[in-house]
Chains A and B, each alone.
Chain A
Amino acid sequence: MKVKSDKSEIKSSLHEMPDAALAAACCRGESEAEHRLWAMHKNRMYGVCLRFAASKQEAQDILQEGFLRVFGSVCKFRGEGSLEGWVRKIMVRTALEHLQKRQAMPHLLDLDALENLLPDPQNLDDLDDPISAGKLVELLQKLPPGFRAVLNLYILEEQSHEQIARELGISIGTSKSQLHRAKIFFKKLLDKTLLLVF
């Protein structure tokens, strides 16, 4: 009984653990703390990965690789910011590296070819909310990797063009033009999707 109560105490203490303490416990190699960190951040990070990836499978790969990096460098976390922000940063960087590995970032796209990208209306089961988060992510995944990266970094990660240029190794001008084109592309994709639904 005492052992059980001890375990529950440890678990409850893990729940209440501040970021730095949780990171320190992970650094010491405590399995409970590692699982706790995973459980705390897995869903949000999976959302981030889905936005950057081209498919669920790829998102899961990025999530796995990203968390391995997190646990590999958790000892470096000094508690200066939030743990979530730190984990998110690693996850975004992992996702970008994954995108860059694919080396498939077409800059010039024929927007008429968008027909191929439109989702099947039969798959849009959530007709009450055709532009739900899930559907938006699906549309984002249809974007070419370069557009997807810039759109995600600028709008959702709230990075400046300077930061984006540094992250992706492009010029600030390219970042701006990519964002502009990505927005148009995405809007058109969105409009066509909505037209199909209604």
Chain B
Amino acid sequence: MNYDEKNTEGLENLLHSKLQGFAPEAPESIWQAGIEPQIRARRQRRKLIFWWWGFTGAVGLVAVAILFFLGKREKNLPEKIHETMPVAAVAVPSDFEKLGEISNPSKQKTSADFSKSHFKKPENSSDHEKTHRSKLIFKNENQQEKSNLNSNFEEKSDLKFEKKSDQRTLETILENQNLTRRTDVPTNISDEKFGSPLVEKLPLIFLKNVILEKKTPCFSPIPTHFAEKTTQKIKQPAQFWATAEAGLVAPMPHDIHQTVHGGMTFTEKSTVPATGFQTGFSLQFQPRERWRFGIGLLRQATRQTTSHIATLRLMDGVCLNPYDPGVKHYEFQYTLISDGDPAKVNLRLSQQDPNIKMPDDEPFILDMKTTRRNTDWLVPITAQRFFGSARRWQFFLKSGATLRFSQKTAIRVDHFTEACVDLCFQNGLTPTVTTQNIRQFSMGYLVGAGAEWTVSPRFRVSFHPNLNGYFSKTNGRSHPSARQFGLNTGLSFQL
């Protein structure tokens, strides 16, 4: 190398003087076709994300509110039953005598038919019970009633408790002197009518609840069949389901919407119908017996055999080794559109004979057969309506919205034929194709119908074919981008 430092003197000055203010006219098409639409799309995407989160947040709040309401309602149920139950029906001695036989206290509801004159010290209290004693002092608005009460009911009564916690609660409340008496309690029920002292037969936890108007489920003297009749009218409590899903998908061919992405764009044709597989899970909320709402996450992988014809010129590509006197390698970049989904492709070709130089502007055609694999993430938001049942089967209709995020596209060249006039490319050398992922977001709809088989009260298996359609937005315009038919199987577990 004969060049030294001196030869480069002045080079810096030359470049400075010539290039410092270098500002050639930039083509306006970059703004119109490239930047502005993308800025708009980005802004709309942000808006969409904002609304999406707003919507899901609102749905979440509503769900929490519903749950809270339902929970509260369940707690209120005993009180309501008490209000609706006829007193006379409750005060049947034979029924009271069966109190000890009540096996499932959680199903029993509170009633309040008792007289304070029935409160007595238990006769057969064991040594253990005697240690758990408390003082009862009743406040009464009516002095007359109070005097009657005092005559029949000792101020200091020994009461037995099944649980220590009950005793503590009662003691605390009694200390605060906040006891109230129910005013709707009939006073004409006497010991004689019952045949035996009522109080002795009432579990004290029931007394506590009735006296203090506690709104918690407790033991009750209501006959079982009364309580059941009332509870039959209560709606099924909200349920949560977790479902694991898997199924086949088949993208359906449709009219390809030619989108403009700038640069070279070619269209793929599907030669073998595309197929795929999807797996995922969903969480479902069932506020009513016949309605179920769900949100899920599915990963979908599809495979499609396609072909496309690319008409290229050397000048459209970039020579990767311009200084290499040997075989030249070229890279071309173009966009492939298949069923509306674009994929950016980098295609590499190699020259066969370095001595034959093909003109840069001479077009040549490559006919390629490729395998395209797409990986997408789906977020289905669905509403499910059950409308009939037969034995263990329940049938439903399903619809909703689906959000789709295209994650990855991989294209492999299976076969190619080149129609280059000079046969300047190596025969049998398959071009290598790499793809740049175009992360695309699309929204769509979902409709389907299916059947659910009850394996056990907590496990269900469902089969549901469905149809998905998606819409993408390009250059500010919405257009249908893909349609898919799916056959899903789900295994649901009640949480």
Contacts and interface: CB of A to CB of B under 8 A. Distances in A.
Interface of A: 29, 31, 34-35, 38, 42-47, 50-51, 54-55, 58, 60, 63-64, 67-68, 71-72, 104, 106, 109-111, 113, 116-117, 131-134, 136-137, 144, 151, 155-156, 183-184, 186-188, 190
B11 A186 contact: yes
Contacts of A155: 11-12, 15-16
Interface string B3-14: 100011001101
Contacts of B7: 184, 187
Contacts, number: 98
Contacts of A183: 8, 11
29 contacts: A38-B35, A42-B26, A42-B30, A43-B25, A46-B23, A46-B25, A47-B19, A47-B23, A50-B22, A50-B24, A51-B19, A60-B26, A63-B30, A67-B30, A68-B35, A68-B39, A71-B39, A110-B323, A111-B1, A113-B323, A113-B325, A117-B323, A132-B18, A133-B19, A133-B22, A136-B15, A156-B15, A156-B20, A190-B11
Nearest to A48: B22
Nearest to A47: B22
A29 B8 CA distance: 48
B31 A42 contact: yes
Given A50-B24, A110-B323, A117-B322, A60 B19 contact: no
B26 A45 contact: yes
B24 A47 contact: yes
A102 B39 CA distance: 26
B428 to A, nearest CB: 26
B44 to A, nearest CB: 11
Interface of B: 1, 3, 7-8, 11-12, 14-16, 18-27, 30-31, 34-36, 38-39, 42-43, 318, 320, 322-323, 325
Contacts of A58: 318
Contact of B323 (A34, A47, A106, A190): A106
Contacts of B1: 111, 184
Nearest to A142: B322
B15 A187 contact: no
* Secondary structure type dominating chain B contacts: helix
A38 B31 CA distance: 8
Contacts of B38: 68
Given A64-B35, A110-B323, A136 B18 contact: yes
A120 B14 CA distance: 22
A176 B125 CA distance: 101
Given A43-B26, A68-B39, A188 B15 contact: no
B494 to A, nearest CB: 45
A60 B23 CA distance: 13
A43 B34 CA distance: 16
- The 7 A-B pairs with the shortest beta carbon distances in the complex, nearest first, are A46-B26, A43-B23, A47-B22, A183-B8, A42-B26, A64-B34, A44-B23
Contacts of A43: 23-26
Contact of B22 (A34, A54, A113, A137): A137
Contacts of A106: 323
B31 A29 contact: no
Nearest to B325: A113
Given A117-B323, A136-B19, 8 more contacts: A34-B36, A47-B19, A55-B318, A64-B30, A137-B19, A144-B323, A156-B20, A183-B11
A180 B15 CA distance: 15
Nearest to A109: B323
A60 B27 contact: yes
A92 to B, nearest CB: 14
Contacts of A133: 18-19, 22
Nearest to B20: A156
Nearest to A64: B34
Nearest to A50: B24
A42 B35 CA distance: 12
Nearest to A134: B24
Contacts of B43: 29
Contacts of A188: 3
B24 A46 contact: yes
B323 A116 contact: yes
B30 A60 contact: yes
B3 A184 contact: yes
A155 B19 CA distance: 10
B171 to A, nearest CB: 63
Q: Which of B7, B8, B26, B27 has the largest number of chain A CB atoms within 10 A?
A: B26
A188 B1 CA distance: 10
B31 A35 contact: yes
A34 B16 contact: no
Contacts of B20: 156
A187 B35 contact: no
Q: Which of B3, B15, B318 has the largest number of chain A CB atoms within 10 A?
A: B15
Contacts of A144: 323
A171 B388 CA distance: 74
A107 to B, nearest CB: 12
Contact of A187 (B11, B323, B325): B11
A63 B19 contact: no
Nearest to B23: A43
A111 to B, nearest CB: 7
Contacts of B36: 31, 34-35
Contacts of B30: 42, 60, 63-64, 67
B49 to A, nearest CB: 15
